[in-house]
Structure 1
Amino acid sequence: MSSDRVTKLILRVLGEVEALLPDQLSSAHQHGASASLGLVDGGKIIRGYLDHREMGLALEHLTYMVLEVPLPLSPRCHSDINEAASRLRLPGL
């Protein structure tokens, strides 16, 4: 397993997630849904896991963020998550 490749995939998806999240959270808030823990500060949490070489936890939290809102990810991001999951022997999206 190439941890550098997995880290790169996770960070690439995180970039898209962080770009989409504010609009989605704002929309959810307008409809009465409260913001979930781990979403607003999700990037910090994921980067902390990556700093400690906990790629599996980072990917699991990233997947949580994508599914909790849900976020309209690009096909490339879906592919990146599934590749990272495969390399880590975890379930993908």
Structure 2
Amino acid sequence: MEELSFFTILPALVLSELKTAFQLGFLLFLPFLLVDLVVSAVLVSMGMIMLPPTLVSLPLKILVFVLVDGWSLVVGQLLAGIQGG
């Protein structure tokens, strides 16, 4: 088995890490988008149009992230990407 050159391995690693980063970013984005949509719909249905939805949704997003143990999920996903699994 021949050794691969550094100029072959480096782009492969960068592409692999970018793929992992985009997947992780997308999976983090979806629940937060869902929280934003639900909060906006509830505020509009209650007639509270002048209240910024971000004021209500940001604490909910932080609560969701803490409740699902977000940091361990993020770090676990990053380590799985580095290991190639």
| TM exceeding 0.5 | no
- Give TM-score scaled by structure 2 length: 0.39
Instruction: Compare the two structures and name the one with the higher helix fraction.
Output: 2
Name the larger-Rg structure. Answer: 2
